[in-house]
Amino acid sequence: MDKRAEATDTPEYKVIGTRPVRHDGADKVTGRAIYGADVHLTGMAHSRILRSPHPHARIKSIDTSEAEKIPGVLAVLTAADFPELEDKIAHLGEGSVNLAFLAANCVAKDKALYRGHAVAAVAAVSPHAADEAVKRIKVEYEPLPATTWVLDAMKDDAPLLHENLRTDEMGEKGDKPSNVASHLHFETGDVEKGFAEADVVIEREFRTASVHQGYIEPHVATALWNEDGRLKIWTSTQGSFTCRQQTAELLQMPISHVTVVPCEIGGGFGGKIAVYLEPVAALLSRKCGRPVKIIMQRNEVFEGTGPTPGSFVRVKLGAKKDGRLTAGQAWLAYDAGAYPGGMIGPGCMCVFSCYELPHALVDGYDVCLNKPKTQAYRAPGATQAAFACESVVDELADALGIDPFDFRLKNAAKEGTRRVDGPIYPRIGLIETLEAARNSEHWKSPLEGENRGRGMAAGFWFNVGLKSSVSAHVNPDGTVKLLEGSTDIGGTRASVAMQLAETLGIAAEDVHPIVADTDSVGYTDVTGGSRVTFATGMAAYEAGLDIRRQMAERAALLWECDANDVTIEGDDYSANGNSMTFREIAANLHETGGAVVGRATVAPEGSTNGFGCHIVDVEVDPETGKVTILRYTAAQDAGKAIHPSYVEGQMQGGAVQGIGWALNEEYFFDNQGAMRNASFLDYRMPTCLDVPMIDTIIVEVPNPAHPYGVRGVGETPIVPPPAALANAIYNATGVRMRELPMSPPRLWKAMAEKAGSRE
């Protein structure tokens, strides 16, 4: 059922808003789509990686001689095979990276900084030979003290990960080495004054565990180093150009010598932007003269990639009796993992992003510790912040006796609101989204029964613009081949093709989208930041305009008139009583000068914004602390839903990941700093028996910065669930959970403690 809130004054669209079968659907459901693991090249070697068993250790020596003797071994690699790199910052579109750190994260140099850190790699004729060989590599480690909790890593006496790292305080470096890579600070107004004006002030502390993106497809890469110095890579990546750039920089070769072929991708969620395997496979290929393939095992994915930061967040909010917020203050420490550059920036920007706060102060810390280098995960940094902020907002509303929706609506950010980090919102749809949620059947129907509770929370995420390029070729049969550089993770072949189809007035099925390699399409930034349907869609629209202009010229040639006299109505071109359809003009392409190629490159400035609001009903088993989700509704402003099914799919997928994060997922470390649950058995992501159908409400407040009003939708839906669940659990049990995950043992303990304190 299409439950989109009624939008007024939206233009009539022919393709946009419909639900055609996705272009890549048949290949995927029949198992024909080519994923990274499907790449098999003649003479291909298989590689396995040796990983550190210690969370923190100096690598004193590596002896590979025994490994080299194993029959079938072709090459062995250590960090010494990488070119020397200075500290250089490479800009990767979404985020930037210090190349020396990036290289050391691919293969540890002098120190292993987390358990699972790659130390060496072997290429062999079979995976079994490679397996045997890595076991024969002798590494002499000097184990060092380790730390895996962010507040411990900030202490003065914490084990130092990087001897040369000094805290960056707004451009100034600290005077002594520290695990704190940077301190961010944002301020508006005068919080002291704001809190003094408040009738109620609530300050709380929140903790969240590291969680992994949990994509079903492990990292995989195949590299072929040609005799002429050109390198070709087949991989599973969110950004083929970003992968090309990182690999070229790490190997110190021109980007034009590297071709990246993006295979189908079995999920990324932010975790498949940084390279891990590509440079290793490339160097091994150069060493052994054969194509080399590396596939990670699931435990390597958990221990060697991702996760997203564990965090400590303190939020303080003040409000007047009437519910108006007067001030907000937040202190956030996010772990960056082994190398600087975690998700603290967006965490700081998002913590208060749903509200109009006259006075606000936010401090954030990026902290290195002995976990894998953290990576983006769907709205990176926002979920931890929203868990804290939305819990305190709920508590404030409760303390003031105000309905949670009324409280949020009273303070909701709107056009003109200044976010604490500076930007002033253009037209946004938070109010409409909150209203749609409040008017939902779900919120309006009573929740009955013992141990049950309902909660809600709002959430925010940006849509970044960055750069996208497409080209589109008109075929003589009237169809159009669309080449794009955005890897398709969430149905974007369909959503981008549909925007081109709409622009050309043709059917969605008549556009054939192709995700092309880095040699075949213009530079395109990563699939991330909720940007593809927005920015690559915008490029498709512009390319469509380009094609229309050229098709009008062809029609003018046929009719011997001026191209400016041709008017275009959908797929109908006419001038001076002549009229032809797009398809008819296409049939004449060879007679009118050959192929029509439309092209466009866009680089929309800044970011636009997506807001969501989730409602959840839970039942808590009072004896075990297990939470059962009875009902769940997600509402979100999509600007304009190009393909509503994929908007709903994003909302549902994000909600489910947020539910997993809230209830059970966590990196469980033993006191030696080793992860004890590096498998899908014990890293408990929700299964289909753990979540009900996620109902969706698509709100459409068109984005003024996009020709069809699109707002990105991919990330926002992971933001509200932990807070919505915490609020629901409170309403069910009277216990405020301030630590994620709210797993059964924790919730049971909290309930038992509350019962104990009552007695």
Partner 1 sequence: MIPFDYAAPATVEEAVALLAEKNGQAKILAGGTDILVQLREGLRRAELVVDVKKIPELTDLNYSPETGLVLGAAVPCYRIYENAAVAAAYPALADATRIVGGWQIQSRASVGGNLCNASPAGDTIPPLIVYDVVCRIAGPKGLREVSAAEFCAAPGRNVLEPGELLISLAFPPVAPHSGSAYQRFIPRNEMDIAVAGAASWVQLDPAGKTIEKARIALAAVSPKPVYAEEASVWLAGKPANEESFAHAGELAKKVAVPIDDMRGTREYRVHLASVLTRRTLADAVKRAT
Residues of this chain that bind partner 1 (CB under 8 A): 128, 131, 623-624, 626, 663-664, 668, 676-677, 680-682, 684, 686-687, 689-690, 743-745, 748-749
Cα dist. 392→53, 198, 379, 671, 729 in Å? Answer: 40, 15, 20, 32, 14
**Which residues does residue 201 pair with via DSSP β-bridges, in sequence order?**
318
CA distance 741 to 367: 21
Q: Is 629 helix (H, G, I), strand (E, B) or coil?
A: strand
**What is the nearest approach in angstroms of partner 1 to the Cβ of residue 682?**
5
Q: Which is nearer to partner 1, 304 or 610 (CB)?
A: 304
Two structure tokens written together for 14:
């022919």
The two beta strands, 292-295 and 220-225, are: antiparallel
- To partner 1, the closest distance from the beta carbon of 676 in angstroms equals 5
Identity of the residue, 324 or 684, whose beta carbon is nearer to partner 1 in the bound complex = 684
Cα–Cα distance for residue pair 216/5, rounded to 1 Å: 33
Cβ atoms of residues 273 and 526 within 8 Å: yes
Q: Which of 21, 336, 238, 394 is nearest to 715 (CA)?
A: 238
Strands (E) across 93-171 are located at 96-98, 111-112, 118-124, 138-143, 166-169
Which residue's entry shows tokens 């290949």? 27
> What is the closest distance, in whole angstroms, from the C-beta atom of residue 746 to partner 1 in the complex?
9
Residues 6+ apart with CB under 8 A from 684: 660, 664, 665
Select 151 or 752, whichever has its Cβ closest to partner 1.
Answer: 752
Q: How far is the CB of 717 from partner 1 (least distance, A)?
A: 21
Which DSSP symbol is given to 145? Answer: -
Both structure tokens of 138: 């002798």
Residues with Cβ within 8 Å of residue 152, at least 6 apart in sequence:
158, 369
Give the neighbor-by-neighbor strand order of the sheet with 138-143.
111-112, 57-63, 138-143
Helix (H) or strand (E) holding 153: helix 150-154
How many Å separate Cα 590 from the centre of its chain? 44
Query: Could you tell me which of 730, 736, 718 has the C-alpha nearest to residue 620?
Result: 730
The number of angstroms, rounded, from the C-alpha of 66 to the middle of its chain's C-alpha atoms is 42
The secondary structure of residue 564, as a DSSP letter, is G
> Residue 477 or 623: which CB sits closer to partner 1?
623
Report the residue number, 131 or 187, with the smaller CB distance to partner 1.
Answer: 131
Strand, helix or coil for residue 406: helix
On the CB side of 366, how many CA atoms lie within 13 Å of its CA? 27
**Packed helices 278-288 and 240-250: angle between N→C axes, nearest 10 degrees:** 50
- Shortest approach of partner 1 to residue 382 CB, angstroms? 25
- Identify the burial level of 563 via C-beta atoms within 10 angstroms of its C-beta, where 0-12 means exposed, 13-18 middle and 19 or more buried: middle
For 219, the token pair is 């990292």
How many of the other CB atoms lie within 10 Å of CB of 505? 18
In the DSSP assignment, the letter for residue 451 is T
Q: Give me the torsion for CA of 589, 594, 596, 601, rounded to 10°.
A: 180
Q: State the nearest-atom distance from the C-beta of 683 to partner 1, in Å.
A: 9
- Residue identified by tokens 């002291």 is 192
The rounded distance, in Å, linking the Cα atoms of 94 and 110 is 29
Between 13 and 680, whose beta carbon lies closer to partner 1? 680
Specify the length of the chain in residues.
759
Closest of 601, 510, 589, 599 to residue 553, by C-alpha: 589
Phi first, then psi, for residue 701 (nearest 5°) are -110, 100
How many CA atoms does the CB half-sphere of 555 hold within 13 Å? 27
Minimum distance between the CB of residue 349 and partner 1, rounded to whole angstroms? 33
